[in-house]
Structure 1
Amino acid sequence: MREILREVGMIARALDSISNIEFKEIDLTKGQYLYLVRIYENPGIIQEKLAEMIKVDRTTAARAIQKLEMQGFIEKRDDEINKKIKRLYTTDKGAQAYPILKREGDHSNAVALAGLSEAEAETLHQLLQRVRKNVEVDWEYVKKGNKREY
């Protein structure tokens, strides 16, 4: 069997490393850009849904969100109905960073897909979505404290 997940992992780590280096100039480090992009694209998202979207545990998300808030990229606002719920929004600083993050994402996507036809890129996208959905089943299972059998 081919080591497909190793390839996916290498791609993800390389792109993450590039982003962490390039985004230092706007004071974003260690994957914070992922959170900022998702908050910008989903204004009012709650922390739990954001963690689920990025596929990290709640503690990891909480630390990243807290740091983004302290740096002035995002803010928490009370939900209009349930005051216990805190909704996440980008600040003006976060909104100004978004076009830079989007441009980098678009560039990385173009570089990664160079040489692939439109049909090949679409097939790759569909296949990777299927793989992600397969993995999400185990992620949810383990996240709830269960152990997979190998």
Structure 2
Amino acid sequence: MPNALRAIGVVARALDSIANIEFRDLALTRGQYLYLVRIVEQPGIIQEQLVNQLKVDRATVARSVAKLCRQGLVEKRPQPANAKANQLYPTAAGIAAYQPIRRENDYSLHQALAGMSPDEVATLERLLDQMCTNIDQDWQFVKKGGHRHY
């Protein structure tokens, strides 16, 4: 199992590279499509939720969201309960840009899971969810300035 993280990294980098190339015509680069997908699929999401879901720092999320807003793909609306937190919503252009991203995701998922049985896919999903849960605790700890002891 020592190569599991390497294999996961290879798959993630390959799919990210493919997406960055294929989404150039949408002017979405460097993983910005990930933010747009979350915003379309979860209208009203706030930036802190994106930080936690995508496991990136606040500054990266802020820059990406600002660019999506400048491009007219996303809009910010004040959150009624908290004036400091803006809710993010896709615009009509953002929803239109989401469609090819969704098709690419479906295609890539189909390609990645080719040759696996439904039981194998279910096991893979369960195991990856467990890995995400395991890593989240360390991510939260390090994000808050902690240092892991190896």
The TM tier, using the shorter chain, reads: over 0.9
Q: 1:138 to 1:82 in 2, by over 3 A?
A: closer
Query: 1:86 corresponds to which residue?
Result: 86
Name structure 1 gaps, 5 residues minimum.
Answer: none
Report how many residues are paired. Answer: 150
Q: TM-score, normalised by structure 2?
A: 0.97
> How much has 1:78 moved relative to structure 2?
1.0
Instruction: Please give the root-mean-square deviation of Cα atoms over the aligned residues, in Å.
Output: 0.9
Q: Secondary structure at the match of 1:50?
A: helix
Q: Which residue of 1 aligns with 2:107?
A: 107
Match of 2:25 in 1: 25
The aligned counterpart of 1:61 is: 61
In the alignment, structure 2 segments of 5+ residues that lack a partner are none
Within 5 A, what are the aligned runs for 1:1-150?
1-150=1-150
What does the per-residue CA deviation read over 1:122-147, in whole Å, with 9 as the maximum and x for residues that have no partner? 10010011011111110011001000
CA distance in 2, matches of 1:145, 1:135: 16
* Aligned-partner Cα distance in 2 for 1:129–1:110: 19
Q: What SS is found at the alignment partner of 1:89?
A: strand
| DSSP-derived class of the 1:85 partner | strand
**What are the superposed Cα offsets for residues 103-128 of structure 1, whole Å, 9 maximum, x if unpaired?**
11011000000000011011001001
The worse-fitting range, judged by mean Cα deviation, of 12-21 and 47-56 is 47-56
Structure 1 residue 3, shift from structure 2 partner? 1.2
Calculate the TM-score normalised by the size of structure 1. Answer: 0.97
> Identity, % of aligned pairs?
53
